[in-house]
Structure 1
Amino acid sequence: MALSMRSLGVAIGLLSALPANAITNGVGKLPVMGYNAWNAFACNVNETLMVQTAQYMVSYGLLDVGYNHVNLDDCWAMKNRSSTGEVVSDTTRFPDMNNLTDQLHALGFQAGIYSDSGWFTCAGYPGSFEHEEQDALTFQSWGFDFLKYDNCAIPFDDVIREGIVGKYQRMADALAMVAETTGTTFIFSLCEWGWNQVWLWGASMSHSWRIDGDIGPYWDSLASIINSASFITQATNYYGRNDLDMLEIGNGNLTYDESKSHFTAWALVKAPLLIGTNLATLSQQNIDILKNTEIIAINQDPVVGTSISPFRWGINADWTFNTSFPAQYWSGPSENGTVFMLLNTLSEPADMFFNLTESPWIRAGRQYSVRDLWTHTDNGTAVRNFTATAVPAHGVVALLLKDAGNEPYGLEPPCAGAALSQCTAENGTSYANA
């Protein structure tokens, strides 16, 4: 796999290699929030940079709102293992891994490290194949809490004699061994890029999994990943969630509205929220996007773990696979009401209209108070339908609707939206053409 094929994910701490619904220790139940160094720095990382990044997260208030992981990616190791087979950290850039993790823990963060399920990592450093238990014990002894596990340098079939599930199960079993023998639980990240329908099997050993190729800091990349996510939202719940890759807010040429859409989509589908930008150059505007606590609250909902899902594709027919124009109308349940995401995939502003009962989480015959999760305002009451006016190009509207009682008496027609086609009185009178 080419070096450019990077990946990032997060997953659940394991006490054993049991199906996900049997993992009840609570580690990784909610999406991980934090930082990963790859997209901003690639291999140009060292201990000082990682600690400085953690300090920025504290000073910006990112730790306070939940970003409590700081994760290494590739290139932290020496190119060769020791004479006894241990993986060795770069003696110049990471001379003492325990010193790094101690500093991160002291600042209030968990510490993440990276390896690969093949012979080598994507950048050519030692992978963990045939060293799974040895590496898991090493990572534990260094004080790490999180392991991102990639998919490069796959052994030949006559060596591995495993399917893709078995290749990842080897490290899941190793982490289970570490948990049993040391009491240390890891958050385990599958980075398989979704090519082998990882959302169907990833929950058997992890809490999240990459669903697509590597993200880029431009709209076309975001739209493509959102399109992929729209077809597999049912895979997400506690102990199993789709990972859409890192947050690119502050990288590349994303507009302010595109950055808001990026953050909203990732958060509301309950993906991990791992910042992948250079925090030293992050603008206050972008910091404010990352610190939207009303959006974060949906991502970190302790009662409802499910993703929002499309209820209408919008400019395309429902269930249309279109990497440039993904689904536009999404909703889902939350602890405090029904969440809506209206995503304008067009290159110009647009009004966006929907009937409330198009969402399966809305009750007919009720009215709903409307909370705008970006303007942080209460915007009156919606009865039967809602229109968001002049949604910016590639922009987003995020709403929280709460039941506000029965709708006003005597509204016509007596049934709203799609239900009108079968709207019938108790005596059999049809109102389909009312």
Structure 2
Amino acid sequence: MKLKFIGILFLIFSLCTAGYTQKFEELAQTPPMGWNSWNKFGCNVSEKLICEMADAMVNNGMLEAGYNYLVIDDCWQVRRDSVGNIVVDPERFPNGMKTVVDYVHKKGLKFGIYSCAGSATCQGRPGSRGYQFQDARTYAKWGVDYLKYDWCNEEGQNAKAAYKTMSDALKECGRPIVFSICEWGDSKPWEWGKGIGHLWRTTADIRDCYQCTFDWGGLGVLDIIDKQAALQQYAGPGHWNDPDMLEVGNGGMTYDEYKTHFTMWAMLAAPLMAGNDLRNMDAQTKEILTNADVIAVNQDKLGQQATKFMDMGEYEIWAKPLSNGEVAVCFMNRTNQIWKLDYDWKKQTMYFATEVSVHKKVYNVFDLWEHKNIGKTSERLVKEIPAHGVLVIRLSVVK
């Protein structure tokens, strides 16, 4: 009788675990969109800041535009208690994390949190190594919806094994949680991350510049874009290449450079995680981050990452197949001069999208920044593209 009872309990546990595993696999069917505290605020996070940012996301149109994850990055945690539970900074979060999570949820947003696969986080706070299942249960109890999991102080661990341990913990914690692998691309997580996480970083940390280099590994936008060109086969619903968070609005780039940054993240089917101060966005920043036409390309249900269709050195053409037989095409100008584009559609074969044929059909050319049709593929496309700028268009069959 006792053995039979144990067997029933095991069956119930197995069925429940299978259910949460299925929910895990059904998450992030389009690239996650939201906001993360790190790029703008670093360690200066607090209950007040997060609640104000939640208010801003609702009031300034970010939530309506699709940004629904609000993620606290490093420095919210200070130690572990006598039984190993992670302790929230009592000075910065005086009412505890559950109160903050509840506030975020009441605003119609989802809540994300940060930890690290190492013994300590990148800022020296307690990491999750050895506490993965305990931390996952804590996050579920708080109501967490998203976990960014870093790779500092990893002490020689195998990356795939370390991330699988936390993945298993999340699948058993009793709550569907999106899992963001932040391993910086060192062990090629795109080759093993599917089924373990929902997105994985492909490069070192982004910096708020168009093209720049840092001895310690930070990268500018252009260098990050270059590293995505061969990774399109690894992206799709539930498993995304992540070229890091957005710097739009933080002041280090020009208006056209920020448009390039945002456009290419959309073309790459990358997660769109804003990293600016949402409480005081200027008009240009809001225009970029809430561009519904560009966001629609990013969130297209087909889930394909753009391919570099043509590389002409300082000029590039990227193409992203979309649902309903449409395609987004981005002309990117890497130079410091205006690109006087004069493009003949009839001279090109769009092998990147078998359903698209400019030789058999005529397509409308819709400019995603001007929000209007600018011609047809039966005509030459003549346009001036600013320095470090883009022209991104959507092709749809003329009816």
TM over 0.5: yes
Counterparts of 1:113-132 in structure 2, within 5 Å, are 113-132=113-132
Query: Which of the residues 182, 195, 218 maps onto 2:186?
Result: 195
Structure 2 counterparts to residues 51-70 of structure 1, below 5 A: 51-70=51-70
1:353: Cα distance to partner?
Answer: 4.4
* 1:30 match: 30
Q: Secondary structure at the match of 2:396?
A: strand
- In structure 2, what is the equivalent of residue 421 of structure 1? none
Equivalent of residue 334 in structure 1, options 322, 327, 333: 322
1:382-404 Cα offsets, whole Å, 9 max, x none, are: 12x74342200010111111123
Q: Say if 2:329 and 2:393, in contact at 8 Å, map to a contact too.
A: yes
* Equivalent residue, structure 1, for 2:366: 371
2:284 alignment partner in structure 1: 285
Shift of 1:351: 2.1
Superposed, which structure 2 residues align to 1:400-419 within 5 Å?
Answer: 400-404=394-398
CA distance in 2, matches of 1:256, 1:123: 32
Does the aligned pair in 1 maintain the 2:20–2:176 contact within 8 Å? no
Partner of 2:296: 297
The 5 A counterparts of 1:137-286 are 137-156=137-156, 160=157, 163-178=158-173, 182=174, 184-220=175-211, 221-286=220-285
**Percent identity over paired residues:** 36
Q: What residue is the counterpart of 1:393 in the other structure?
A: 387
CA deviation vs aligned residue, 1:107-166 (integer Å, no higher than 9, x gap): 01000000000100000011101100000011111111110000000124xxx5xx2100
Cα separation, partners in 2 of 1:258 and 1:137, compared to 1, 3 Å: same
Structure 2 distance, partners of 1:73, 1:242, is 19
Tell whether 2:341 aligns with 1:352: yes
Q: How many residues were matched structurally?
A: 367
Kindly indicate whether structure 1 or structure 2 has the higher relative contact order, using CA contacts under 8 Å at least 6 residues apart: 1
The residue type equivalent to 1:34 in the other structure is G
Which one-letter code corresponds to 1:283 in the other structure?
D
Q: In 2, distance between residues paired with 1:353 and 1:26? A: 43
Give the Cα separation in 2 of the matches to 1:199 and 1:212: 11
Aligned to 1:123, the other structure's residue is in SS state coil
2:305 aligned partner, one-letter code = S
Amino acid at match of 2:193: G
Aligned to 1:306: 304
Return closer, same or farther for 1:306/1:295 CA change in 2, 3 Å cut-off. Answer: same
Find the aligned partners of 1:256 and 1:62 in 2 and give their Cα distance.
Answer: 19
> Which residue of structure 1 lines up, in the alignment, with residue 12 of structure 2?
none
Instruction: Return the alpha-carbon distance in structure 1 between the equivalents of residues 69 and 332 of structure 2.
Output: 29
Asked if the contact 1:82–1:88 (Cα under 8 Å) also holds between the matched residues in 2, the reply is yes
- Report how far residue 232 of structure 1 moved: 1.0
> Does residue 40 of the first structure (1) align with residue 35 of the second (2)?
no
Q: Gapped runs of 5+ residues in structure 1?
A: 1-13, 316-324, 406-434
Task: Give the superposition deviation at 1:281.
Answer: 3.2
**How many angstroms apart in 1 are the aligned matches of 2:62 and 2:49?**
17
> C-alpha root-mean-square deviation of aligned residues, in Å?
1.9
2-structure distance, mates of 1:24, 1:382: 42
Whole-angstrom CA distance in 1 between matches of 2:50 and 2:82 = 29
2:98 alignment partner, SS class: helix
AA partner of residue 311 (structure 2): W
Residues 129 and 355 from structure 1, CA distance in 2 versus in 1: closer, same or farther, beyond 3 angstroms? Answer: farther
Alpha-carbon distance change, 222 to 358 in structure 1, aligned in 2, over 3 angstroms: farther
The equivalent residue for 1:412 is: none
2: CA distance between counterparts of 1:249 and 1:379? 26
Give the Å deviation of 1:204: 2.7
Query: Does structure 1 residue 75 correspond to structure 2 residue 75?
Result: yes
Contact (CA 8 Å) 2:115, 2:128: kept in 1 or not? yes
- Paired AA for residue 182 in structure 2: C
Q: Is the 8 A contact 1:175 1:186 kept in 2?
A: yes
**Judging changes above 3 Å, is the alpha-carbon distance between structure 1 residues 83 and 334 closer, same or farther for their aligned structure 2 residues?**
same
